[in-house]
């Protein structure tokens, strides 16, 4: 997975495939974002092609971490397989998902 972080805007853009192998990189990215200021963290998923169950689990952990830090985690523009997975798991009831 390729990650682009904009700390000032509290925004991350991810591309490629989000799987278990990306857990260290993802955690590091989240820690960095929580150190930055701002009430929301946005993850742009428009270029993410695939997500597995471990990836979904990491997003849920990130959401819990955001709540602990009084932040809101927003998932933006999921498409393809990612969107179908969100639909099946009803992720829109767990996150704020923006099209």
Partner 1 sequence: MLPWKRRRVAPPIAHDPEAPQPLQPDRSLDVELLQKWMSLARMQQRVIRTLVSEIQQTSAVVETEAEALSGRFQRLAVCAEQQTARVESLSKLAIGIQIDEEVVPIDRIAGLLEDTLSDVVEKILHLSKDSMSMVYALNELNANVGRVHNCMAELNGINRTTNMLALNARIEAERSGTAGAAFRVVANEVRDLSRATHDLSISMNGELKAVTEGIASGHTTLQRVATIDMSQNLMAKDRLEVLMSALIRRTEMLTSVVADAVKEAEVIAADVEGMVTGIQFQDRARQRLEHVVDTLHVVDQALDELKSATEGRLPEASGESSFDVEWVTRLLDRFTLGELRSRFVAQILEGKQAADLDDEAAIRVEPSASGSVELF
Interface residues toward partner 1, by CB under 8 A: 19-21, 23-24, 27, 51-54, 56-58, 60-61, 81, 84-85, 87-90
Between 93 and 99, CB nearer to partner 1: 93
Cβ atoms of residues 1 and 16 within 8 Å: yes
Helix pair angle (23-35, 53-68), 10° resolution: 20
Nearer to partner 1, 72 or 81 (CB): 81
Whole-number minimum distance, CB 89 to partner 1, in Å?
5
Q: Which two tokens stand for residue 39?
A: 């009430």
């Amino acid at each position: 997975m390729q990650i682009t972080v904009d700390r000032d805007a509290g925004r991350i853009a991810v591309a490629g495939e989000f799987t278990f192998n990306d857990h260290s990189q993802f955690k590091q990215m989240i820690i960095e974002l929580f150190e930055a200021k701002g009430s929301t963290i946005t993850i742009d998923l428009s270029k993410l092609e695939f997500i597995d169950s471990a990836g979904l689990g990491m997003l849920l952990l990130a959401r819990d971490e955001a709540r602990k830090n009084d932040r809101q985690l927003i998932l933006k523009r999921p498409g393809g397989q990612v969107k179908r997975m969100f639909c099946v798991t009803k992720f829109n009831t767990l996150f704020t998902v923006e099209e």
